[in-house]
Amino acid sequence: MYIALWIMNISIGSPYEAVIKRIIEKGYAGNQTEVIRQAILAYERMLEDEELMLVHRAVTVEVSEIETKKTPSFSFDEIKKILKS
């Protein structure tokens, strides 16, 4: 069995260390590692939300263009014919 351990020592600077200390003092996390883990997961969720928002915005634009006939639309049968040729 192989277990990979990835240990990092990081220096993030005084302002961030103060924020981490306040988060721990407020009881949101028990230690520095928990704060960093929670922050990484929150950042990942934020990025996923932003990606979803961008996809939704692009789909909205595309649907609008199809509805206003700026972009042609094709039926499923038309697409199958195009792909066969």
Instruction: Return the percent helix, strand and coil in the chain, to nearest 5.
Output: 65, 0, 35
Provide the sign of the torsion angle of the four alpha carbons 42, 36, 15, 28, taken in this order.
positive
pLDDT digits (tens, 9 = 90+) for 18-30: 999 999 999 999 9
Check if the beta carbon of residue 32 is closer than 8 Å to that of residue 20.
Answer: yes
In a domain, 8, yes or no: no
Domain that holds residue 30: 14-79
Specify the pTM: 0.68
pLDDT digits (tens, 9 = 90+) for 35-80: 999 999 999 999 999 999 999 999 999 999 999 989 888 899 999 9
pLDDT at 17 > cutoff 70: yes
The helix/strand/coil state of 29 is: coil
Nearest-5° Cα angle at 40, 35 to 45: 125
State the maximum Cα–Cα separation within the chain, in Å, rounded to a whole number: 68
Q: What's the number of domains the chain is made of?
A: 1
In a domain, 2, yes or no: no
In a domain, 4, yes or no: no
In a domain, 29, yes or no: yes
